[in-house]
Amino acid sequence: MSGAIWNLLSFIVALGVLITVHEFGHFWVARKNGVLVKRFSIGFGKALLRWRDKQGTEFVIAAIPLGGYVRMLDERVDPVLPQFKDLAFNHKTVWQRMAIIAAGPAANFIFAVFALWLMYMLGVQTMRPIIASIEPQSIAAQAGMTAQQQIVSVNQHSATDAGSVNLLLVEQIGSESITVGLKDVATLQEHTVILDTRNWRFDPEKQSVFSSLGLNLARPQALTEIAAVAPDSAAEQAGIRVDDKILRIDDELIDNWTQIQTIVSNSPEQLLNIGLLRDGTEIELQVTPGRVETEDGFSQGMLGVSPKVSEWPDGVLYTQRYGVFDAIGAGLAHTWQLTRLSFSMIGKLVTGDVSVKHLSGPISIAQGAGTTASIGLVAFLSFLALISVNLAVINLLPLPVLDGGHLMYMLLELMRGKPVSEKTQEIGFRFGALILLTLMGIALLNDISRL
């Protein structure tokens, strides 16, 4: 199966699950409050499958799997006979209507907790955030951070794995300083440092949050031995083989793979003399790296080889696995962290601390779904939890076309003692739709630019 088809199928499954959960929240609370639900649809457009239950609700699976809706009996939309008015959404109290609207995002939050609970029950392989080295003159170096220390907290929020630390650091984008708690690997003594992040520049498309601060975590390292040679590449044409070890390029002795990358990138279509160790014998070859264009319009050299990597350092990789009840606490904590981060990122988009060029759309989500589904169930559950939280948070934004916009109108109704006029609501819906479509358009263009 091709990667594109796999991504699409994974995307449809993920979106179908999350939309069903969201709409079921509306559906369940509506019925509990005595509202007649006319239709429960997953997807839009032509119905592929439909059936009715004993209470008269039509359930539909439609052709376009990009959303869904719950259509309730409402006098503002449908003619309602007097004897059925009590079943109409608009005849319920403000608090009942707010509960029905809020139930969709709430269901997504609950699903995220469930997915993470199951993930932690199954066990998730992760890594301890142990610092292997610090880049000279970096933000981390200026703060006095050193190797062989484990990051245990960020701004008083504790963390035991690199993934949690990553989320906590991303949350601090735009801050002038970050307090980092550290534990010495050898002595277990703990202390804190303060990172000066006033000049912090982080581009998530080009670097990790750790490297942007000058931190290199303990993980397998690229060796100077060749693991693979691309067909028809400059390396193959020059006679470089798998298992060759690069000793030097021109007059520079090679200690690490980064040196090789730097030299080759800076030498497009330039002849290089490469010293190799092959089967215990030193040989020398001449190679001319090919030229490729980067996204920024610059040219760089390409050799067409990939390196072997070392084993994981001792004590870095471990499995997080909890019992039934402890997994609930871990799922709740992780969901809260994702929720806090989502709201924080939205705020930073508004203030300009995060650029709209980092927005992701359906193509990126599909790629994420395909990648995590390929890795396995645990990774896919983590992805579902992340997207479920994002879906809930986005729906709570006070835009009239979203659940949050409806809740905003109902709060105004509570304060005013009467509903917001239909004309005002209509203007708000158009304004909200314009903002939402603009953001979706930007996200889609960002996706296309990344292809």
pLDDT in tens, 212-234: 999 999 999 899 999 999 999 99
pLDDT tens, residue by residue, 35-63 = 999 999 998 888 899 999 988 899 999 98
Question: What is the Cα–Cα distance from 56 to 75, expressed in whole angstroms?
Answer: 18
Given a cut of 90, is residue 193 above it in pLDDT?
yes
pLDDT score, position 372: 85
pLDDT tens, residue by residue, 66-98 = 888 999 998 888 887 888 888 989 889 999 999
Question: What is the Cα–Cα distance from 266 to 303, expressed in whole angstroms?
Answer: 11
Question: Cβ(204)–Cβ(358) under 8 Å?
Answer: yes
Q: Residue 33: which residues within 8 A CB-CB, separation 6 or more? A: 92, 96, 99, 100
Nearest 5 degrees, angle CA 216-CA 219-CA 220? 125
| Architecture (CATH level 2) of domain 124-220+313-320 | Roll (2.30)
pLDDT score, position 451: 64
The two three-digit tokens of residue 383, written as one number: 């992805």
Given a cut of 70, is residue 297 above it in pLDDT?
no
Given a cut of 60, is residue 1 above it in pLDDT?
no
Given a cut of 60, is residue 154 above it in pLDDT?
yes
Nearest alpha-carbon partner for 383 in 364, 396, 402: 364
177-184 and 317-320 beta bridge pairing: unpaired
Q: Residue 312: which residues within 8 A CB-CB, separation 6 or more? A: 127, 219, 220
Provide the terminal-to-terminal Cα distance of the chain, rounded to the nearest Å.
Answer: 20
Question: What DSSP letter does each residue of 165-219 carry, written as one string?
Answer: HHHHHHTTTT-SEEEEEEEETTT--EEEEEEE-TT----TTTS-HHHHTTEEES-
pLDDT score, position 307: 94
pLDDT score, position 431: 84
pLDDT-based confidence at 298, cuts 50/70/90? confident
pLDDT score, position 114: 97
Question: What is the Cα–Cα distance from 8 to 2, expressed in whole angstroms?
Answer: 10
Matching fold, domains 124-220+313-320 and 222-309: yes
pLDDT-based confidence at 439, cuts 50/70/90? confident
Q: Where are the domains of the chain?
A: 124-220+313-320, 222-309
pLDDT-based confidence at 168, cuts 50/70/90? very high
Could you give the residue numbers annotated as active site? 23
Class of 222-309 per CATH?
mainly beta
The two three-digit tokens of residue 165, written as one number: 């630390």
Considering the entire predicted model, what is its pTM?
Answer: 0.85
Question: What is the Cα–Cα distance from 347 to 154, expressed in whole angstroms?
Answer: 20
pLDDT score, position 411: 92
Angle 94-122/377-395 helices, nearest 10 degrees? 160
- Cα 59 from chain centroid (whole Å): 31
Nearest alpha-carbon partner for 224 in 190, 192, 250, 259: 259
Cα separation values, 342 from 79, 289, 404, Å: 40, 43, 15
